[in-house]
Structure 1
Amino acid sequence: MAVHSVAVVNSDLLQQRILGDAIERLGFKLVLNAPTARLSPELVENTRADVWLVTVQDDDELCADSFDQLLSGDVPVLVGMDAAPDNKCTTFLRWEKKLLTKLRDLTDTPAPAAEVSQVPWERKSHPPIELPVEFAGLNRQVPIAIFVLGASLGGPEAVKEFLDALPAGLPVAFVYAQHIDERFEQALCQAVGRHSAYQLNNAENAATLSCGDVLIAPVATRFDLVGLDRISVLDQPWDGPYGPSIDGVIDVVYNHAQRRFGCILFSGMGSDGSEGISAMPEGTQIWAQSPAGCGNASMPESAINTGRVTYIGDSYQLAGRLTEHLKEIWKEDYERKPDHQCG
């Protein structure tokens, strides 16, 4: 079996050493272990890796073109892996197992035969999800549902898989709240949307959120939705330590969309989003990625623990559930109301 190669970018020398040792001990080949300041387009171009592990600190000097090149390439990039504990720490083995799981997932490396039954994250080949006949040829601008997609660590991969699985033509729009450094906000559109039938856009004042759009919630400033799904960018920071605040995005979208609102919480650290969904009325569509397949499961686990999550699945299952949900909405609220079909 071929040995997969891993490139590490991390400015902490101790983390570099622990990561390098762990990667090689787990049976992967370490081809780069460099600080963030060394990252350049030439280094990205010349490094033959099957996966990149990148950690960026607030005070790191980073070449934005290099990161954009990484995210827009075909090689998977894991941004912000949990910091490794000391190898004498009681939590080290748990951290190392999580690293192994993620590396296997990103490189399609099968587990040894004895472990195969214990790997729920193993990637499977899925048939394409078909567009319901109700939406064939539908020329509609106003979405019948607006879903918040909330994510942190491991989120871009999970959200990309979800969007890629959706059939083109669904009458839905999304607001994607991803914890990410502001410097990477523009690159996120290309990285997550490059194979999707749905259009990822950064927030622009007075732009309209239409069917097929995925609005990237701005990292530094709040926004609002007004009128006929028009975006209003505000000169106000988000509350809390993260930008964008997933709780804040949930509030904004629910207050505007009301019955059209839905929310899916994907892989991520922390509990952002749990407070927001806890305030939602009973019956609200609140779904979560299955923790077993997450790069970091604490965000969906926190959501599930609120008791408000009504559906749990992997990215493909979530895409299938959304397709069926939209079909149900259409039949109940729109199919027999021709005046609603233009918009």
Structure 2
Amino acid sequence: MTEQAPGIALLACDAGQRQQLVQVLSTFGYRIVSAEDPASLQPEDLAQIKVDAWLLELADESPLTEWLLEHSDVPVLLGAGEIPAADCEDYPRWQCRLYGKLQPLLGTPAQGQAPSLAAPPTPNPEAHPICVWVLGASLGGPSAVKRFLDTLPASLPLAFVYAQHIDPGFEQQLPQVIGRQNDWKILNCRPGSRLQAGEVLVVPINRQLGFAEDGTLAVSDEPWPGPYQPSIETVLDLVSRQFGPACGAIIFSGMGEDGVAACGRLRQQGSEVWTQDTVSAACATMPGAVLDAGFSHRQGSPEELAAALERWLAREWSAAS
């Protein structure tokens, strides 16, 4: 007798998203028990649906979500994430993220196909890092970024571009300030060099950073556009063009709203955008603006964000055995 595949009930408001998720979950080998329009259901209807897990894409205030969180005796997964276009480079990573949430809870179906990514190459000090993330900060930023880097291993296949609103007189001191007590290589910009894994590049305050066609660093004497020096908005767009989609951003403590619109553009291309939470930030205005705009995937303290990034890298770049 063939063992029955684990059953999933799907609640998604958008009909197109619902259809896509049904197809993907079925490809994984899971059994779709229910995929009704949530608008047609009442909380008491959910008690009649016998499943092994629920997958929800509902508004936060949905009474269906509230009922399941209170009464369900099986796992309830909140959100499958934004679904990239099927021909987008980030689509396989999205599939792996979703499968990575389901498989530990439900096991591996006997039938179906697990998603996979190619294994990353072994980091080569002469090559580009696999991922480049922007660390954006203003008031209270150096302390937060230092806590983040102190927690995160420097051996990861990852590099950072650190854009900090600060007086130009402190630019040369930033590597010493944030590099103590961790193994990250904190560097002021050296034109002609290449960004490598294990490095944190401090963005110049009064000069624009750029990348040549071959990936080497370039610096212009032109000031940054807009009211902020450096312009986190411009840095985010620059890194997105040069390294996307293998890039992301974390917005730490700071004043103002520099970078909000560019964070939205990162989201649209499928890249991660995270923010420091209001509890741990010395000034929560800047990360709060990104969060209020709906562009933050994750919030947390610097230590929590470091741990989450290490897990994210392991999941994103792991190959199926």
TM-score (norm 1): 0.56
Q: Distance in 2 between matches of 1:327 and 1:238?
A: 35
User: Which of the residues 140, 143, 166 maps onto 2:152?
Assistant: 166
Partner of 2:212: 226
For the residue of structure 1 that corresponds to 2:279, the secondary structure is helix
Q: Which residue of 2 aligns with 1:265?
A: 251
| 2:133 aligned with 1:147 | yes
**Which position in structure 1 is the counterpart of 2:161?**
175
- 1:326 deviation in Å? 1.2
Distance 1:190 1:271 in 2: 27
Q: Percent identity?
A: 40
Is 1:297–2:284 an aligned residue pair?
yes
Other-structure match for 1:247: 233
2: distance between equivalents of 1:168 and 1:261? Answer: 17
Deviations 1:292-324 (A, max 9, x none): 111100001001011111011111111011111
Cα pair 1:225 1:232 within 8 Å, conserved: yes
Out of 323, 329, 336, the residue aligned to residue 316 of structure 2 is 329
Report the CA distance shift for 1:227/1:325 in structure 2 as closer, same or farther (over 3 A).
Answer: farther
Q: Tell me, in whole angstroms, the C-alpha distance in 2 between the residues paired with 1:139 and 1:271.
A: 36
Verify the 8 A CA contact 2:123 2:129 in the aligned structure 1.
no
Report if aligned partners of 1:210, 1:229 keep a CA contact under 8 Å in 2.
Answer: no
Match of 1:188 in 2: 174
**Inter-partner Cα distance in structure 2 for 1:148 and 1:161:** 16
Q: Is this contact kept in 2: 1:202–1:218, CA < 8 A?
A: yes
Partners of 2:252 and 2:261 in 1: how far apart? 15
Give the Cα separation in 2 of the matches to 1:223 and 1:165: 27
Letter in 1 for 2:206: A
Which ranges in structure 2 are unaligned for 5 or more consecutive residues? 1-118
Provide the residue aligned with 1:285 in structure 2: 272
Q: Secondary structure at the match of 1:291?
A: coil
Say if 1:240 and 1:158 are closer, same or farther in 2 by CA, change over 3 A.
Answer: same
2:273 alignment partner, SS class: strand
- 1:144–1:181 Cα change, 3 Å: same
Distance in 1 separating the partners of 2:220 and 2:124: 31
Q: What are the Cα deviations for residues 91-111 of structure 1, in whole angstroms up to 9, with x where unaligned?
A: xxxxxxxxxxxxxxxxxxxxx
Unmatched 5+ residue regions in structure 1? 1-133, 337-343
The residue number in structure 1 matching 2:27 is: none
What is the aligned counterpart of 1:313 among 265, 279, 300?
300
Measured after TM superposition, the shift of residue 202 of structure 1 is: 0.6
RMSD (Å), alpha carbons? 2.1
SS at match of 1:293: coil
Instruction: For 1:148 and 1:258, locate their aligned partners in 2 and report how far apart those are by CA, in whole Å.
Output: 12
SS at match of 1:174: strand
Quote how far apart the aligned CAs of 1:286 are.
0.3
Contact 1:261 1:284 in 2 (8 A): yes
Computing the radius of gyration from Cα coordinates, the structure with the larger value is: 2
Mapped contact 1:203–1:218 kept (Cα < 8 A): yes
Task: Letter of the 1:194 partner, please give it.
Answer: R
Large movers: runs of 4+ above 2 Å:
137-142, 225-229
Residue 45 of structure 2 is matched in structure 1 by none
CA separation of 1:228 and 1:161: change in aligned 2, threshold 3 A = farther
Residues 101-132 of structure 1 deviation map (CA, whole Å, 9 limit, x = unaligned): xxxxxxxxxxxxxxxxxxxxxxxxxxxxxxxx
> 1:331: how far off?
1.3
Any conservation in 1 of the 2:247–2:271 contact (CA below 8 Å)?
yes
- Write the distance in 1 (CA, Å) between the matches of 2:190 and 2:124: 24
Contact 2:154 2:184 in 1 (8 A): yes
CA-CA distance at 1:195 after TM superposition: 1.5
What does the per-residue CA deviation read over 1:155-186, in whole Å, with 9 as the maximum and x for residues that have no partner? 00000000010113100000000000111100
